[in-house]
Amino acid sequence: MKDNSKSLLGKPFFRSRVKSANVKIPELLIGYFIGPFGALLASGIFGAYLNTYLTNVLFRTELADAATKASINTFTMLLPLLSTILIVAGNLVVGQLIERTKSPAGKARPWILLSSVVLGVACILMFVIPGDANGIVKMVWYAISYNLYYSVAYPMYNTSNSTLIPVSTRNGKQRGLLASVTNVAGLGVMGAGSMVFPTIAGFILFDANEEPVYFAWMIMFIAVGIFTAICCILQYYFTRERVTEETMNLPAEKTKKVSIGQQLKGVASEPFWWIIIIFYLIFQFSGGMKNLSMQYFCQWVLQPFEGMTRAASAGLSQTILGVLGAIPMAIAVVFVWPLSNKFGKKNVTLIGMVVGVAGGIIAWIGGDNMVPVAIGVALKCLGSAPACYMILAMIADVLDHVEAKRGYRCDGLTMSIYSSIMVAATPITTGIFNALIGATGYNPELAAQAESTVTVMKASYVWVETIAYALCAVLFIFFLVEKHISADRGLILERQKAEALAAGVEWIPPEQRLKLEEAKANEEAEEARKSELRAYCEKKGLSYEAEEAKCQEKAAAKRAAAEAKAAAKKAKAEAKAAAKGAKTGETSDETPKDTDSDDSGNSDK
């Protein structure tokens, strides 16, 4: 068995700060919200504003010049489309690197740590291009920095970040909560890109004459790059791969090495895998088109606010639509998780798609009028909430199902495809959108655009996503993987037990092993606390016994309060069950099941 203490990531400095068997607040908040939010902040801004930076800032002069306009239009169309090949390749490579990584930190977390530097540097380089540089120099520099971010840095982070959900825990409820919080972080960065950043851009990154301030753009993204690196490091320290740890005690020669061919065979033969991947493909690409075209829609389709320039009015309109879209999303986060636990993730997501279609129709009818458009956008965002929050949990259910049937996991391949779809949505929709508006004669310095250009912008922002939601609703009628969750878990545990016994290793069920590890970590923490208290008392001339007695008294009071709270909760549940039994005329001697436990017996507390 490998001695993890000799590995660099096995050293105390690199160990996870998460010691609990169950997911608790620090892991949830820092590892699955603050970490992903900071790491993805740049991509959220890029999704809503990178193409605007490209056309209205970096190549503003060249697009206004008839001699260079055609070449720049060709560049802005071809670069994202051709880069998609490198982006997909980058995601597939990273996915296989993750699958083959075996370390004390797990298989995904080491790549999150490495991406802290690569992401931070890559997102800065695109915005330190001198505004007065030669057009060819700009194109070469931008193409290199663009692919460094999207083909290297982003796949490295996003594939490993996406893999964390399936390997974080087997507890279905906890995993659903982690997926929900992680996707809230992703939507938060999209909100920052569509709501906060446009206002900053309108008033700080452009001067009174609507000319770009290049130095301000550079300082802005240096700050974003540093913030990104810090948040990636925090995420590394406040996450844990409990599923990966299930096989860490097996000798290296006994662990299965699954080839990419085996993984492809495993997922390609699973209908539920195809449904969830095609669903996400349609959902993500339609969302990419909406996010990309939002700024153009606000500037050239909606009527500008009285007394404001089109650029400033567009920034304000974008902020208003972003806020009105974010409000139902924020409200939905409170309800999506419990509703999914009660009615199923599939059913709640399907109903959400229907609501989204209704919202899209209202927004289309609204035309250039802000009020009906805002109402439709709010409804559309509300309908998209279940899919946004639960997609990773649903993919994790599919991966468990494949593992139960095949005997091996396909996290690396699946998450590299998932990440490829996520990151490729922006460049592909950028290329398509730029080709469409370029063909209609778009010019950022015109006072008004051609009717055909306005139609393209309106359809891109509203209609594409509305049609996509209708297709997704039909597709999800056949997504029935949740019916197999309990049976899949039983098969996986039996297989793990057989493999451990065959390898001559003591079999300890994962839930029991995690509890033992948590108890050991708590014991070590208690000994460290006593040592620190003893040193403090010696320094201050205090009685260690007296101070320790005070600490024990406080701890006892805290335990008593927790026990009283648990007893009150249990009594309330029993009273509710008794009332329900009296109402239906039925009696039962059974104690109600703790609502915080999943089918594997794990507690969410």
For residue 369, which of 437, 307, 321 has the smallest C-alpha distance? 321
Please list the residues that pair with 597 across neighbouring strands: 603
Mean pLDDT across the stretch 524-544? Answer: 85
Determine the residue type at 444: P
- Who wins on pLDDT, 411 or 384? 384
pLDDT band at 598 (very low <50, low <70, confident <90, very high): very low
* Residue 594 in this model has a pLDDT that exceeds 50: no
Share of the chain above pLDDT 90, in %: 19
Structure-derived torsion over alpha carbons of residues 282, 287, 288, 292, reported in degrees to the nearest 10: 150
**How many angstroms separate the CA atoms of 55 and 44, rounded?**
18
**How many angstroms separate the CA atoms of 181 and 34, rounded?**
10
For residue 413, which of 269, 271, 247, 260 has the smallest C-alpha distance? 260
- pLDDT for 601: 40
For residue 60, which of 42, 50, 72, 78 has the smallest C-alpha distance? 72
Mean pLDDT across the stretch 488-517? Answer: 78
Distances (CA, A) of 83 to 86, 481, 573: 5, 35, 56
Give, for 590, the enclosing helix (H) or strand (E). Answer: none
- pLDDT for 418: 85
**How many angstroms separate the CA atoms of 301 and 310, rounded?**
11
- pLDDT for 181: 85
Question: How does the average pLDDT of the chain come out, rounded?
Answer: 82
- pLDDT for 599: 43
pLDDT band at 251 (very low <50, low <70, confident <90, very high): low
Mean pLDDT across the stretch 291-300? Answer: 82
- The two three-digit tokens of residue 183, written as one number: 């996707």
Beta strands in 445-591 (DSSP E): none
Name residue, tokens 């990531």: 9
pLDDT band at 292 (very low <50, low <70, confident <90, very high): confident
**How many angstroms separate the CA atoms of 99 and 167, rounded?**
12
Cβ atoms of 508 and 516 closer than 8 Å: yes
Cβ atoms of 438 and 70 closer than 8 Å: no
Is 257 buried (19+), middle (13-18) or exposed (0-12) by CB count in 10 A? exposed
**How many angstroms separate the CA atoms of 454 and 436, rounded?**
11
Cβ atoms of 16 and 238 closer than 8 Å: yes
Q: CB under 8 Å to 536, separation ≥6 — which residues?
A: 542, 547
pLDDT band at 502 (very low <50, low <70, confident <90, very high): confident
Mean pLDDT across the stretch 195-200? Answer: 70
For residue 248, which of 107, 415, 396, 116 has the smallest C-alpha distance? 107
Q: Which of 267-271, 280-284, 514-518 has the lowest mean pLDDT?
A: 514-518
Could you read off the pLDDT of 30-48 as tens digits, one per residue? 999 999 999 988 888 887 6
Could you read off the pLDDT of 2-27 as tens digits, one per residue? 455 567 787 888 888 888 877 888 89
- pLDDT for 228: 93
Cβ atoms of 67 and 391 closer than 8 Å: no
Is 102 buried (19+), middle (13-18) or exposed (0-12) by CB count in 10 A? middle
Angle at 244 between CA 243 and CA 246, to 5 degrees: 70
- pLDDT for 473: 95
- pLDDT for 1: 39
* Residue 200 in this model has a pLDDT that exceeds 90: no
**How many angstroms separate the CA atoms of 501 and 497, rounded?**
6
pLDDT band at 194 (very low <50, low <70, confident <90, very high): low
Cβ atoms of 266 and 414 closer than 8 Å: no
Q: Which of 54-68, 203-217, 444-458, 532-546 has the lowest mean pLDDT?
A: 203-217
- pLDDT for 304: 74
- The two three-digit tokens of residue 57, written as one number: 């800032």
pLDDT band at 600 (very low <50, low <70, confident <90, very high): very low
**How far is residue 81 CA from its own chain's centroid?**
24
Cβ atoms of 131 and 281 closer than 8 Å: no
CB atoms near residue 252 (< 10 Å): 9
For residue 388, which of 239, 185, 195, 231 has the smallest C-alpha distance? 185
Could you read off the pLDDT of 421-472 as tens digits, one per residue? 877 787 788 888 888 888 887 777 666 777 888 888 888 888 999 999 999 9
Mean pLDDT across the stretch 297-305? Answer: 79
- pLDDT for 603: 38
DSSP string, 147-177: HIIIIIIHHHHHHHHHHHHHHH-S-HHHHHH
Is 379 buried (19+), middle (13-18) or exposed (0-12) by CB count in 10 A? buried
Name residue, tokens 């490998």: 2
* Residue 393 in this model has a pLDDT that exceeds 80: yes
- pLDDT for 587: 45
pTM above 0.75, yes or no: no
